[in-house]
Amino acid sequence: MRHRRQHKSTDWQKIVQTVKRSVPVMAFIAGLCAGAVILGATFLLEGAGSSARASVDPLPSDHVMALATDPSRIVIASGKAALADAPPRMVFSSITLPAPPVQYAKPQMHTAAPVILASGKADMMPQMLGIVTGAIPGAMPDTVRDTRPAIALVIDDLGVVPDRSAHALGLPNEVTLSFLPYGMVTRPLAQAAAAKGHEIFVHVPMEPLGDEDPGPEALMTRDSDRSLRAKLDTQLNGLMSLVPVAGLNNHMGSRATADRRVMNEVMRGAAERGLIYVDSVTTPGSKARASAAAHDVQFIARDIFLDHGQGADYLLAQLDTLEQSARAQGVAVAIAHPHETTLEVLSVWVKGLERKGLRLVPVSEAIDIESRQRMLAMLR
């Protein structure tokens, strides 16, 4: 037991040392960018999901080094050395995006196998149990199910701060990336993320309880049903016309998500498009889950905000809580944001999950795991 504790402590010390070494370089880069980008400083539950607006729109060349017709290569510059050697915002070592829109295949939605009910009550339980556990041939894929505790990690607020948003693409493909629809580099980065294999979400701005600005075309409780529908169409369709979008989650929204009428319109739009909904849970009074169930929308709520407090020590403590939650529940969902320290710590943390007996999964797979757990609990 003492050996395991010492081993775990050594892991965190390595991460902290990595962060401390890299923070001065990242701070220098952030200083160079300070004249062009103003970041919001709100770190409450609501503010953790808020993003700054750029005070001056930089030229596209500040964000992307090259656009070409060959989509075969996307190489993200990794590590502080690559960032230090490049101009402040050029975080791509190279990036190629297609000139004509890519005809992406519609993402495979993870759906449960159909439940075949037997003729009598006595036979029903074995049939259902066989399907859930994979004991009935053909009911589940002929592969061994990975039963390790799973973590779904969502990085949202993407598309506004170019260098940090692009740096998030260096995380593993299992990380779900959620883009603000009004972000200045949302479209090219979402295309790059989709080509790399990330699950793409739209981070839909919604009305908060406070006076924070959620962004243009935010869904407001004073809006009519028609206005809510039109705004949601605008938020979703722009990105969906370019890349396969798997779902959406709320940006701010402590007032909007507590309003059942607003949530009904959101879930109606999600259902029509076959989208997943992740509740960022910016209020304990959220009606999102009930509305999603009523409209048959795949749903999951986040368990932990990783970085609504400041500093590496806070983030490491949250990651430890996330790991414990995943082991206790079988699956846990975390939301983080493209802050410098967050991305530096996560880039190291994800490399140690395999050794800890944990795994990263996209949000869609986390929903599947949670659904199986609920069905097994019913059968017990």
The residue ranges of the chain whose pLDDT is under 70 are: 1-144
| Eight-class DSSP state of 256 | T
DSSP string, 44-69: SHHHHT--PPBSS---GGGT-S---S
Cβ neighbours of residue 7 under 8 Å, at least 6 residues apart?
A: none
Domain assignments of the chain as residue spans, ordered by start: 16-61+147-379, 113-145
Specify the pLDDT at position 354. Answer: 95
Q: Residue 74: enclosing H or E segment and its boundaries?
A: strand 74-76
Nearest-10 crossing angle of helices 225-240, 260-273: 40
- Between strands 359-360 and 150-158, the pairing is parallel
Cβ neighbours of residue 52 under 8 Å, at least 6 residues apart?
A: 37, 38, 39, 40, 160, 161
Q: Are 238 and 263 in contact (CB under 8 A)?
A: no
Specify the pLDDT at position 272. Answer: 97
Specify the pLDDT at position 340. Answer: 94
Specify the pLDDT at position 66. Answer: 32
Q: Compute how many other C-beta atoms are within 10 angstroms of the C-beta atom of residue 20.
A: 11
Locus of tokens 């060349």: 61
Specify the pLDDT at position 214. Answer: 97
Specify the pLDDT at position 377. Answer: 86
Q: Provide the CATH number for the domain formed by 16-61+147-379 in this structure.
A: 3.20.20.370
Specify the pLDDT at position 103. Answer: 52
Q: Compute how many other C-beta atoms are within 10 angstroms of the C-beta atom of residue 86.
A: 16
Nearest residue to 164 via CA among 39, 308, 309: 39
Report the half-sphere exposure of 119 (CA within 13 A, side-chain side): 0
pTM over 0.85: no
